[in-house]
Structure 1
Amino acid sequence: MSLPIYLIGARGCGKTTVGQALALALGYDFCDTDHYLQQARQQTVADIVAIEGWAGFRAREAESLKAVTAASKVIATGGGMVLAEENRLYMREHGRVIYLNANALVLAARLEAYPLADQRPTLTGRPVAEEMVEVLAARDALYQLAAHHIIDAMQTPDAVVNQIVSSLSLARAS
């Protein structure tokens, strides 16, 4: 039985895009915890935050993580999934955790190039480039702490998938 693969990283690092391609390459199922949560609640992330606050959203996010975890599944997590130690430990204990690492300027450029109407509400109230610098400063150590593998996500999605597959193969061989 193959362990689930959790993709972690900041908004815009490619968790969903890479996750779908990785699942296809491995013959795994794919799930995005944010999409799962929104479907289960019939609300957008922004709506959940507006009604329950960030703490309520984070609690629902943790529930979603556990609900979608299954063997042979690639799981794209929300960028803040690592904020709760419980989530970091859960992912490390139940699967392989891949940190898709990209710098703040790349993340901001991606988010600005593909603005989504249902994108999460701002965490800081600042422009996206400033927010990404602040978010990475606060979360990078948590991403690294949670990760079994750190992957350079500033490459093409195909290159990122190839790097992940290689990292997982090397880990199995050792």
Structure 2
Amino acid sequence: MKNIVLIGMPGAGKSTLGVILAKTLKMPFVDTDLIIQQTQNRLLQEIIEEDGIDVFLSIEEKAILDLDVQGSVIATGGSVVLKPEGMKHLKENGFVVYLQLPYMEIEKRIRNITTRGIVMQKGQTLLQVYDERVPLYEKYGDAMIRCMGKNMEQITKEVKKLWEGIK
């Protein structure tokens, strides 16, 4: 059985939706950010600050490549699309759903930009991160859900309908 893989910007609601979706569909839930924190015994932001972005992305990619689950809802980190091998692995046995939000909404939702563990180069703005990643989310997504103005229940119903259409 395929996985449902949630991708999108930090603040798009991947982890929150993932939990609700997993309960609704009676599937296990996996959060790759939590896997990274558990295996590294550090917060994402600590890894980025102490080891740098390249090391963090390698750790994230290894966590993805080591992931061996079926029939699960997987919430990924926003930077997962930066490593093609990791995305290839997720797509091999996954239905990838891009949770799309306009930049202004992402900006509103992210209050803790310096502590959240967002992969950003020095001097890079959140808008630049958004502009860099959106084409990758669109490339890798098998489906896109426009989340603006919708609550989690509505988004869950949309993903469930898509999922039931491909099963």
Same fold (TM over 0.5): yes
Match of 2:21 in 1: 22
Query: 2:52 & 2:29 partners in 1: Cα distance?
Result: 28
Q: Structure 1 residues 162 and 69, CA, compared in 2 at 3 Å: closer, same or farther?
A: farther
Query: 1:10 & 1:65 partners in 2: Cα distance?
Result: 17
Query: 2:135 & 2:36 partners in 1: Cα distance?
Result: 26
Q: Which moved more, 1:161-170 or 1:45-54?
A: 45-54
Residue 124 of structure 1: CA displacement?
Answer: 4.8
Query: 1:122 & 1:89 partners in 2: Cα distance?
Result: 20
Residue 68 of structure 1: CA displacement?
Answer: 3.3
Q: Write the deviation string for residues 71-120 of structure 1: whole angstroms up to 9, x where unpaired.
A: 121111010100111122111112111100001111111112xx488511
Extract structure 1 runs of 4+ deviating beyond 6 A.
Answer: none
Query: 2:71 & 2:65 partners in 1: Cα distance?
Result: 15
> Could you tell me whether the CA contact under 8 Å between 1:29 and 1:72 is conserved in 2?
yes
- Report the 3-state secondary structure (helix = DSSP H, G, I; strand = E; otherwise coil) of the residue aligned with 2:125: helix
Please point out which of 116, 134, 141 is paired with 1:140: 134
TM-score computed with the length of structure 1 as normaliser: 0.87
Count residues with an aligned counterpart: 166
Query: 2:78 & 2:118 partners in 1: Cα distance?
Result: 13
Please point out which of 144, 148, 157 is paired with 1:150: 144
Higher helix share: 1
After superposition, the CA RMSD in angstroms is: 1.9
Match of 1:13 in 2: 12
Match of 2:70 in 1: 71
TM-score computed with the length of structure 2 as normaliser: 0.91
| 1:163 and 2:158 are equivalent in the alignment | yes
Query: 1:66 & 1:12 partners in 2: Cα distance?
Result: 24
The letter for the 2-side match of 1:163 is E
Residue 171 of structure 1: CA displacement?
Answer: 2.5
Match of 1:86 in 2: 85
Query: 1:98 & 1:9 partners in 2: Cα distance?
Result: 8
Query: 2:58 & 2:119 partners in 1: Cα distance?
Result: 18
- Report the 3-state secondary structure (helix = DSSP H, G, I; strand = E; otherwise coil) of the residue aligned with 1:78: coil
Residue 67 of structure 1: CA displacement?
Answer: 3.0
Q: Structure 1 residues 81 and 153, CA, compared in 2 at 3 Å: closer, same or farther?
A: same
Consecutive unaligned residues of structure 2, counting only runs of 5 or more, are none
Identity in percent: 26
